[in-house]
Chains A and B, each alone.
Chain A
Amino acid sequence: MLALDLFVNGLIIGLFYALMAVGLTMVFGILKVVNFAHGEFYMVGAYTYTLVSLKLGIPPWVALPLAALAGAGIGWLTERLLMRPLYAGYSSWGLMKDEYAVVVTFGLSLLLINLFDKVIGPYPMRGPSLSSVTRMSVGPFMMSGQKIITAIIAVILLIALALFIKRSLWGRWVQAVAQNRFGASIAGIDTARASSIIFMASGVLAAIAGALLAPVINAAPDVGIFPAVKSYVIVVIGGMGSVPGSILAALLLGVLESFGAVYLSYDYRDTYGLVLLILILLFRPQGLFGERTREV
């Protein structure tokens, strides 16, 4: 019974990880760089949700879409101001591309953390719950209402995202640009807009993750570091750029940590994923579900 309980809890944590990781992996898919400020998108979402509902008295169900909007805004700005030089007119950069992306997103992460620390203050703030039910039974399990709502919203968002990527016109642009940016631009696709869309989507997902978790993990300037590190692990395990891979890897990591915390050691629970990451990079660098990239 304990095992089943741990499994379900792990899956729910995994769903939350997936919200973070999917955005990161899509950004990698389309720009081939890692966004080290991804955790700060989460932080912006957590703060928007908490501040809007606490200070302005707006009900949490309205604050949640506002947080998503803030996430979209910060994602759009990041792409527009900092990522665009990666592919617009700086083609001669070639070699320095990865370094530029790491430095700039790392700088953005530091900037946002310290800006929020200065403007809002370093004290953690607890966000309001979406549900007042603290314990309810779902079949054989006992869970809090917030946890169930988080899981449901995460599943809905992930399905919506999959449909968007697979079915919509913009989603198909994004797929094309991820496969071959140059080819897509020849086919008349606005690659810059595709990048904007992906950054906004990744901002939305991260911000909603932050808002949903705000009642559990209090909003603080550095709250994003922890989920961001988790999502780096997940995108590598799942294969960089692969959306289904990162969802599977997120669920896997959630379950692994949930079991490891009980059966191995609680204190070291955050290291399991990192060790797994290094092992995967050593023996299967393309990730569990990723394809080997072919270069000519």
Chain B
Amino acid sequence: MNIPAARHPNLYASKLSAELRLSLVLLLGLAALPLFITSPYWLGVLIVSMYFAMLSTGWNLLAGYTGQFSLAPAAFAMLGGYTTGLLAFHWNIPLWLGLPLSFIIPGLIGLVLGRIVLRLSGAYLALTTLSFAEIARLIVYNSIDFTRGDQGLNVPALLDSRVGYYYLFLVALAASLALTWAVLRHPAGRFLQAIRDDELGAAARGIRVVHYKTLAFFVSCAICGFAGGLYGTFARLVSPELGLIAQTGIVIAMVVIGGMGTLVGPLIGALLVYIVSEWLRDVGGIQMIVFAALVIIFARFFREGLWGLARRSRLLRPRTDNGSS
């Protein structure tokens, strides 16, 4: 009478595929949205929310799955934006080359950062990555000759139409999710979670901790950088404000509200937070107050986020039927 072991809903593989299915549904929904929404303003809102969804997905791989609580995702988005921007501005390097580089260069910087903070954990890791983020922002802000400082740097546009950008971001978001899913599906995904849960224990089991931690830093920072590169060409401007700590705060808010350490959580969180925040902006500019309060409430009382809550309420019935968990 037992549920076959391989299909038990609490199994990691079943959880992951359920999350993947929901992600696909959400992405398909997003793909259909331009049929109904034609206002350029709301398309812009959706594009920016997809930008944040990419940042959240990248950060969640590092913080949610690997337990490396970095406070630099926004800084890597800024670095990605400046990679494409500076290459185009100083050396006329076209975007088809600049955009892939905005994936690779921030990824490599993240790899170096990951090596630096290898021995650190918890509060020390958070402080070091925060300092890194601030150094990066201050350097960009002050190197006026090279980056034009807080005036911002103009970036050439890739496309003319807003709908085109919409689908470009959608494809990029789907690609980031696919990349994250591939990492998680691979044994590497379980290794990362083993490192999160018990680093010493993982090392004792023969998991190459250094190797996989650096991998997580590379993938996560590369996704954030690429998101920043795309955002730069969409906004046609990059500025040091992309790397503000408050931006990192928004990313953390999205992931915590959506559900940390789940594939679909950051996606739900980012779309919901950003779209609702646009609506709250009309109500009276209280969006950040509401979300900061929500982050505290979720972290304090609903630590699994929205996706965790939804999952639990769905799982409640089969559990009571079986009489065991």
Where the two chains meet, the residues of A that have a C-beta atom closer than 8 Å to any C-beta of B are 28, 32-34, 36, 82, 85, 95-104, 106-111, 113-115, 118, 225, 229, 232-233, 236, 240, 267-268, 270-271, 274-275, 277-278, 281-282, 285
Assuming A110-B253, A115-B289, A277-B128, is B303 touching A82 (CB within 8 A)? no
Cβ–Cβ contact B300 & A32, under 8 A: no
Residues of B within 8 A of A33 (CB): 123
Contacting pair A268 B300 (CB below 8 A): no
Chain A binder among B18-26, B133-141, B211-219: B133-141
A82 & B300 in contact (Cβ 8 Å cutoff):
yes
> Known contacts being A100-B299, A285-B119, is A267 close to B253, with CB within 8 Å?
no
- Establish whether residues A96 and B249, one from each chain, have CB atoms under 8 Å apart when the complex forms: no
The total number of A-B Cβ pairs within 8 Å is 119
Q: Are B131 and A233 in contact (CB under 8 A)?
A: yes
How distant is the Cα of A185 from the Cα of B197 in the complex, in angstroms? 28
Docked Cα-Cα span, A145 to B63, in Å, equals 48
Q: Which of B69, B142, B291, B303 contacts A98 (CB 8 A)?
A: B69
B142–A268 touching, CB < 8 Å: yes
A28 to B299, CA, bound (A): 20
Contact B256 A103 (CB under 8 A): yes
- The residue on B at minimum CB distance from A105 is B296
For this complex, 30 residue pairs linking A to B, each with C-beta atoms less than 8 Å apart, are A32-B123, A34-B126, A85-B300, A95-B67, A95-B196, A98-B122, A98-B126, A102-B69, A102-B71, A103-B295, A107-B256, A107-B292, A107-B293, A107-B299, A108-B292, A110-B246, A110-B288, A111-B292, A114-B289, A115-B289, A229-B130, A240-B124, A268-B142, A271-B138, A274-B132, A274-B134, A274-B135, A274-B138, A275-B135, A285-B124
Question: Distance in Å from the Cβ of A65 to the closest Cβ of chain B?
Answer: 29
The answer to whether B116 touches A110 (Cβ under 8 A) is no
Footprint of A on B, CB under 8 Å? 63, 67, 69, 71, 116-117, 119-124, 126-128, 130-132, 134-135, 138-139, 142, 196-197, 245-246, 249, 252-253, 256, 260, 285-286, 288-289, 291-293, 295-296, 299-300, 303
- Give the most central of B120, B135, B291: most A CB within 10 Å: B135
